[in-house]
Chain A
Amino acid sequence: DAGVIQSPRHEVTEMGQEVTLRCKPISGHNSLFWYRQTMMRGLELLIYFNNNVPIDDSGMPEDRFSAKMPNASFSTLKIQPSEPRDSAVYFCASTWGRGDYGYTFGSGTRLTVV
């Protein structure tokens, strides 16, 4: 298995533009998580899905952020419109069940909003 695949690896965009981050979880995993990592706030959980259904989106900072999981093999995190304070590394992770055997993280997308 190639692991959790995120794209793009790097994204530079101008303030106000729409940004879409993509994630392909490990086949067979039924839980998917989106995290954001910054120096100031550390690792924050944004949203997680179980069996493609959003379970907890309380970490989504505001309405500019949205996430979807149309099927078991694909998820997107969208920011519209983007702002400089959204600059961070965004990680996707997947696991089976509650993750007692560990989450598998993707390599992340480094987003820079100028």
Chain B
Amino acid sequence: AQSVAQPEDQVNVAEGNPLTVKCTYSVSGNPYLFWYVQYPNRGLQFLLKYITGDNLVKGSYGFEAEFNKSQTSFHLKKPSALVSDSALYFCAVRLTGANNLFFGTGTRLTVIP
């Protein structure tokens, strides 16, 4: 079955430190991978995507993610966390030829001042 997993419900990081939010996937075929962020009382916002090409993709707000085919991972990273990065982060996958996204369960990121 196709799926994405976010192994951590909660990630805490000090302001200014690097952050990583983990995502692994299980799909047949080539995955299209996405990260979305959700701020309180808001809908999800698109951050970045991997479809093909360079394994390191850069997105909004200084975030980047690295596609690792051998480890079937797509971890979200940022070199220096801001308090305003505190939010709920979702990894998602779309299969080749499909229209819809499968979302992970989300990881709540808290950046401590």
Binding site for B on A (CB under 8 A): 4, 31, 33, 42-43, 45, 48, 50, 55-56, 91, 93, 98-108
Contacts and interface: CB of A to CB of B under 8 A. Distances in A.
Interface string B26-56: 0000001010100001111110010100000
Contact of B43 (A45, A48, A93, A101): A93
A99 B101 contact: yes
Contacts of B51: 100
Interface residues of B, number: 22
A38 B32 CA distance: 25
B99 interface: yes
A91 B41 CA distance: 11
Contacts of B104: 42
Contacts, number: 54
B99 A48 contact: yes
B46 A102 contact: yes
Nearest to B102: A45
A105 B49 CA distance: 16
B1 interface: no
A98 B103 CA distance: 15
Contacts of B70: none
> For B36, B46, B99, B106, which residue has the most chain A Cβ atoms within 10 angstroms?
B99
